[in-house]
Amino acid sequence: MQQPITTVLVGSGFIANSKGYIVTNAHVVDTSTENVRDLVWKHYSTQLYDKLYQSMAADTSQEDISYYHKKLLEFVSANGSIDNLTYQIAVFNPNQKEGTYEDFIKKGFQAQIKKVGQPYPAMGKDVAVLKIDKEGFPGLTLGSTKKLRPESQIYVLGYPAIADINESGITQPTFTSGIVSAYKKSSQGDYDVIQIDANSSGGNSGGPAFNDRGEIVGIATFGSDVKEGYNWILPVEFAKEFLDELNVKYAVGNDK
């Protein structure tokens, strides 16, 4: 028996110039077979649990549902396979206000990966540059981390999935604020990451972090799964490095 499965991974990003170049995280657009397979399996697991929950008698305990779910997953894992994997990278149209995830993908902008680093937690810079099939959007100003210090004000803009009340909410951005907490050496490479206390969660990845002049100084990348207020951004200089290698022009702030 074959079962078609569609899953969606949502992240954030920012427009670097009016030609349609967008900066995000590499892990947001990770199209490796292993990553796509993991996403499909996770989606299938959740879908299977929901079906079990709906089909069981009302007096079935949560423990029993989890038991049957585990046994079914073990059976499928031992006897089934995931085949014919395909993927599509799309940028949602911010002017579209209603619809399902599938609608947003179909009516969004097709995107090509122009340059990609290594997705976290692999060693390397978790940055990617995309090019969409639409021009005319104004590019944002890229600042610098030179004057960022602990207690510097920081603002994060993005689309955290946890903030969505329904699917249509995915085009409504969330704006949070906080301070720079510390600069810390990355365990994934020879560079510093910037710790912030501004709220950031799944879906924020790849979104811009601004200074108090509205200049992008970082890229929201990852956060703590166990404690709030411990989130990290990558320096905006990584975005500049990737854009420079592609000869993509962008606006720069005062602290060049």
Residue 200 in tokens? 């950031």
Smallest CA-to-CA distance from 108 within 87, 71, 134 is with 134
Helices (H), the chain: 33-55, 62-79, 101-106, 236-245
pLDDT, position 168 = 59
Q: Which residues of the chain have pLDDT under 70?
A: 120-124, 161-169, 187-190, 223-229, 255-256
pLDDT, position 188 = 64
pLDDT, position 130 = 96
Smallest CA-to-CA distance from 9 within 243, 246, 206 is with 206
pLDDT, position 213 = 92
CATH code of 141-252, in short, is: 2.40.10.10
The amino acid at residue 151 is E
Domain residue spans in the chain?
A: 40-79, 141-252
Residue 236 in tokens? 């905006």
**Residues in the chain, total:** 256
Q: pLDDT digits over 160-177, tens only?
A: 765 455 565 677 788 889
pLDDT, position 163 = 47
Residue 104's Cα: distance from chain center in Å? 16
Going by the DSSP 8-state scheme, the letter that residue 137 receives in this structure is P
Residue 126 in tokens? 């978790």
pLDDT, position 161 = 66
pLDDT, position 21 = 96
Please answer whether residues 219 and 239 qualify as being in contact, where contact means their C-beta atoms are separated by less than 8 angstroms.
yes
pLDDT, position 169 = 65
